[in-house]
Amino acid sequence: MAMKKAKKAGKKSAKKAPAKKSVKKSAKKSVKRAPAKKAAKKRTARKPNAAFMKPMMPTGPLAAILGSTPMPRTEVTSQIWKYIKKNNLQDKANRRMINADDKLRALFGKAQASMFELTKYVSKHLR
């Protein structure tokens, strides 16, 4: 009886071993190779969007802050940020908020505005 158990154990281990090898073979087959790299394209200089570069005239409370000379939207935004930083109007605790002084209160219509709302208020006063 001991012989039969030994033979059965040998057969079971023999059957298990090929199963492991087949798993390894299938794992090796599933490995994919990276595609060959293509030649890099030459990059051209990026052109700015014409709509942003069109000079716009600030009106009303925006003209009181920036002056009444026409300038592109990008320049308007950078000039407002210069004004905010120069007058230390960013909120100390929440830097995303802008505390309005008298000129900005006329622009925003409230005491504090988010930096994400800034373009909404500015666009109302550009012609």
- Domains, the chain, ordered by start: 53-123 (1.10.245.10)
- 77-105: pLDDT as tens digits: 999 999 999 999 999 999 999 999 999 99
Give dist(CA 4, CA 61) in Å, integer.
100
pLDDT of residue 10: 57
Mean pLDDT of 109-122: 95
Taking the whole predicted model, whether its pTM rises above 0.75 is answered as no
Q: Which residues contact 72 (CB under 8 A, 6 or more apart)?
A: 52, 53, 54, 55, 56
Query: What are 79-82's contacts with CB under 8 Å, separation 24+?
Result: 80/118, 80/122
Q: What whole-number distance in Å separates Cα of residue 74 and Cα of residue 15?
A: 74
What is the rounded distance in angstroms from the CA atom of residue 13 to the CA atom of residue 10? 5
